Structure 1
């Protein structure tokens, strides 16, 4: 029903790759508890949530996204509000950085922040959550599909990706996509 992004190891020409059940066996998602769920209790998720009720492993991407918002506000005088429309501005900013010829090493942290920002938009608007696998951060949408917004920001810098389109794909219904 949903599309997912390319994996970490190899970046295919298309960022959308469907993942079947068990495609990421080492993914460890930490989730919040509903009534009745508790750590160590059989049948519960057995993980700890952060102070804001979000998974504890979402802390790093949230911090990276907040840093990107602050950098855009203070450095470029651009306001980012975690809306889907704001991803247009992020894509344009990455494109401008690329056109200026900045070396990847110089913008790697900024791209990570832009990717985390894009992932957080997906989390907020498409009903996803941050998960971590092998040191990499992914967004898992409610239907179990995985997205790699950090890699999508890198692909955008290479002229091949778009955080706006990633978000659009994560939020769209899969009917038209599954019949292609």
Structure 2
């Protein structure tokens, strides 16, 4: 039997996943998804809109994954992180097959963080605040 996380792409496919999500989202509307830290406020609003619109987690799964890939790509581009495939113990802890390793070696779970925002909402789960309070960021942006 196939586990749900086995259907998700590995670390090497996350950048293209984020790019495909941005292309699809911006083709329908003029969303400023430019991989900036400021754009994470828009991600917060998009996740909140899904929740308030009545989408259940299963129906929103693809969109939430795309938003998580986008958030992770912001960490990669702006904070010096890199996508990594998680080991078995990390997968069990995070509930995801991939994460972002920061320059200090810490692993973060942007896909899971988006899911948390969807489930709990509220300012304590803000993706923009997540980035701003993130430990292990590079001192300057990485393109």
Matched, 1:159 2:138: no
Contact preservation (8 Å) 1:139, 1:149:
yes
Write the distance in 2 (CA, Å) between the matches of 1:77 and 1:129.
28
Write the distance in 1 (CA, Å) between the matches of 2:114 and 2:55.
15
Count residues with an aligned counterpart: 117
**Residue number in structure 2 paired with 1:169:** 133
Write the distance in 2 (CA, Å) between the matches of 1:96 and 1:78.
14
Q: Which consecutive unaligned segments of at least 5 residues does structure 1 have? A: 1-56, 174-180
RMSD: 1.9
**Residue number in structure 1 paired with 2:34:** 81
Higher share in helix: 2
Deviation at 1:172, TM superposition (A): 7.4
**Residue number in structure 2 paired with 1:60:** 13
Aligned in 2, Cα 1:139/1:172: closer, same or farther, shift over 3 Å?
closer
Pair member with larger Rg = 1
1:86-107 superposed Cα distances (whole Å, 9 cap, x missing partner): 1111110110111001111111
1:63 counterpart SS class:
helix
1:105-161 superposed Cα distances (whole Å, 9 cap, x missing partner): 111011011011101101111111111114611101100111000000101111342
Aligned in 2, Cα 1:107/1:99: closer, same or farther, shift over 3 Å?
same
Deviation at 1:171, TM superposition (A): 6.0
**Residue number in structure 1 paired with 2:110:** 149
Contact preservation (8 Å) 2:105, 2:136:
no
Write the distance in 2 (CA, Å) between the matches of 1:116 and 1:124.
12
Normalization by structure 1: what TM-score?
0.60
Write the distance in 1 (CA, Å) between the matches of 2:83 and 2:136.
19
**Residue number in structure 1 paired with 2:70:** 117
1:84 counterpart SS class:
coil
**Residue number in structure 2 paired with 1:132:** 85
Contact preservation (8 Å) 1:141, 1:170:
no
Normalization by structure 2: what TM-score?
0.74
